[in-house]
Amino acid sequence: MNRILCIGAGYVGGPTMAMIAAKCPAYKVTVADINPERIRAWESEDLPIYEPGLDEIVKACRGRNLFFSADPDAHIEDADLIFVSVNTPTKTFGQGAGMAADLQYWEKTARQILANAKSDKIVVEKSTLPVRTAAALARILHSGDSPVHFEVLSNPEFLSEGTAVRDLEQPDRVLIGGADTESGRRAAAELVRLYEHWVPRERILTASVWSSELSKLAANAFLAQRVSSVNSLSALCEATEADIGEVARAVGMDGRIGPRFLNASVGFGGSCFKKDILNLVYLCETYGLPEAAEYWRQVVRINEYQQDRFVANMVSSMFNTLAGKRIAVFGFAFKAQTGDTRESAAIRVCRHLVAEHAHVVITDPKALENAQNDLADLTARVGFVHDPYEAARGAHAVALLTDWPAYADLDYARIYASMMKPAFVFDGRNLLDPRPLFELGFNVYGIGKAPLTRV
């Protein structure tokens, strides 16, 4: 049991398999994808995703026990353990459009496995999937007349982008869901054995498949709910002159609540929070639980409210018009330390700014190419520049949307001198110290804080 195939070489498949290869030198790990460009990039000097520490790991294992392939079918029979890590986006058509998970890529993968496997396999769901998908997977895999036995496990991934390598190396927990049968327990034990190469045994949890599938959706829903909770309170802080930083600190020092994930912001982004909550909402509705569905739906609503509120605040603070004004957007990635822009709050904010006829100039250290793709229909009104000083030159306002630490270290006196007056800073991440900016002459607006303003 030491040949592993991972189908899907994305943000999860690539880093996860690189970590397994690094920690388990006796295993041969192949990562396959139908996108040949992505595979070429994994094989090149310029990996397809940016993650601190990933280059070193991939380069140390590549060609030794980590291999990439654009032909998943060719490696299925050779593998004992097959991870499925394909994308599971929100469905955009038909029943459940805008809510349910689109399972077409995942189902295609199941059929590929069935068509190519000639000996027994353990198939591991790494993708985030609706509860009870493993049952559907098992049905597809056993649908032919092949004597091959497939054991389906759920092993959801909890890594965060930007800290993927650290999260994989020292996970809070590894969750393995398996059937309560002899072959199910044997398969789960195989996967436990793999992770035991570097994860302490007490951090490896086993559960039923359904609990494992649901726990992944639940964990993301809880995390996103914390952000929406603190963001809803940030609106109240702005109305009452309470300070969300002080409130979050006081609340988070309660050991039962904890201090992490309580940073008010322009809104959460990323490929998963919204998609997974909507998936949860859809499941609740499907099982006839409308009140539970409504509870979780509100987490997404508050997030959209927060993004819209950010722009509304810009408009009202800047004399009720942004038409013809240059706005420098600092940061487009959905969080720092990644080039990923999927569902980034910046997309919605920039689209609103353009709708107000502002001229938007975006800068970001890693995400400019993705930003250009996301806003490809708006290029007449949106510029993209590498240098934040250039973005800010002649601007009426800076809108800081990603918490890149480098933005805290810029020379704001120089930026102020190059801007139109009155000059505004809207800090969507509470990253900057407002007082020195105010003293330089800026009107400063944070999230959930009283503004420092002269106008």
Near ligand NAD in 127-146, by CB under 6 A: 127-128
* Structure token pair of residue 181: 């049968």
Residue 305 partner contact from ligand UGA, ligand NAD, none using kind-dependent CB cut-offs of 5 to 8 Å: none
Near ligand NAD in 364-403, by CB under 6 A: none
Residue with tokens 């020379």: 411
* Structure token pair of residue 205: 């949890």
What's the closest the beta carbon of residue 136 comes to ligand UGA, in angstroms?
Answer: 21
What's the closest the beta carbon of residue 232 comes to ligand UGA, in angstroms?
Answer: 13
What's the closest the beta carbon of residue 46 comes to ligand UGA, in angstroms?
Answer: 21
Nearer to ligand NAD, 12 or 431 (CB): 12
What's the closest the beta carbon of residue 311 comes to ligand NAD, in angstroms?
Answer: 27
Give CA separation, 185 vs 114, 177, 192, in Å.
22, 9, 10
Residue 35 partner contact from ligand NAD, ligand UGA, none using kind-dependent CB cut-offs of 5 to 8 Å: ligand NAD
Q: Where are the beta strands (DSSP E) in 19-90?
A: 28-32, 66-69, 81-84
CB-facing half-sphere around the CA of 98: CA atoms within 13 A: 2
Q: Where are the beta strands (DSSP E) in 366-428?
A: 382-384, 397-400, 424-427
Binding status of residue 162 toward ligand NAD by CB under 6 A: no
Residue type, 169: E
Dist. CA 351–CA 365, nearest whole Å = 20
- The full length of the chain comes to 455
Residue with tokens 């998943």: 72
Dist. CA 455–CA 447, nearest whole Å = 18
* Per annotation, catalytic residue among 6, 272, 284, 350: 272
Nearer to ligand UGA, 225 or 363 (CB): 225
Nearer to ligand UGA, 113 or 217 (CB): 217
Binding status of residue 11 toward ligand NAD by CB under 6 A: yes
Binding status of residue 69 toward ligand NAD by CB under 6 A: no
What's the closest the beta carbon of residue 80 comes to ligand UGA, in angstroms?
Answer: 26
Q: What is the 3-state secondary structure (H, E, C) of 229-275?
A: HHHHHHHHHHHHCCCHHHHHHHHHCCCCCCCCCCCCCCCCCCCCHHH
What's the closest the beta carbon of residue 134 comes to ligand NAD, in angstroms?
Answer: 14
Residue with tokens 């940073």: 263
Helix axes 244-252, 209-240, angle to 10 degrees: 140
Nearer to ligand UGA, 79 or 278 (CB): 278
Binding status of residue 72 toward ligand NAD by CB under 6 A: yes
Binding mask 77-116 for ligand NAD (x = CB under 6 A): --------xxxx----------------x--xx-------
Nearer to ligand UGA, 267 or 388 (CB): 267
198, 109 Cβ separation under 8 angstroms = no
**Burial level of 386, CB count in 10 A (0-12/13-18/19+)?**
exposed
412, 444 Cβ separation under 8 angstroms = no
Nearer to ligand UGA, 215 or 265 (CB): 265
Residue 220 partner contact from ligand NAD, ligand UGA, none using kind-dependent CB cut-offs of 5 to 8 Å: ligand UGA
Residue 148 gets the label, from left (phi > 0), alpha (psi -120 to 50) or beta, of: beta
Can 272 be counted among the known catalytic residues? yes
State the residues that interact with ligand UGA by CB under 6 A: 128, 157-161, 220, 223, 227, 261-263, 265, 268-273, 334-335
- In degrees rounded to 5, what are phi and psi of residue 307? -65, -40
Residue 7 partner contact from ligand UGA, ligand NAD, none using kind-dependent CB cut-offs of 5 to 8 Å: ligand NAD
Among 5, 13, 214, 392, binds ligand NAD (CB under 6 A): 13
Contact residues toward ligand NAD (CB under 6 A) are 7-13, 32-35, 38, 72, 85-88, 105, 108-109, 127-128, 157, 159, 161, 271-272
Active site residues: 272
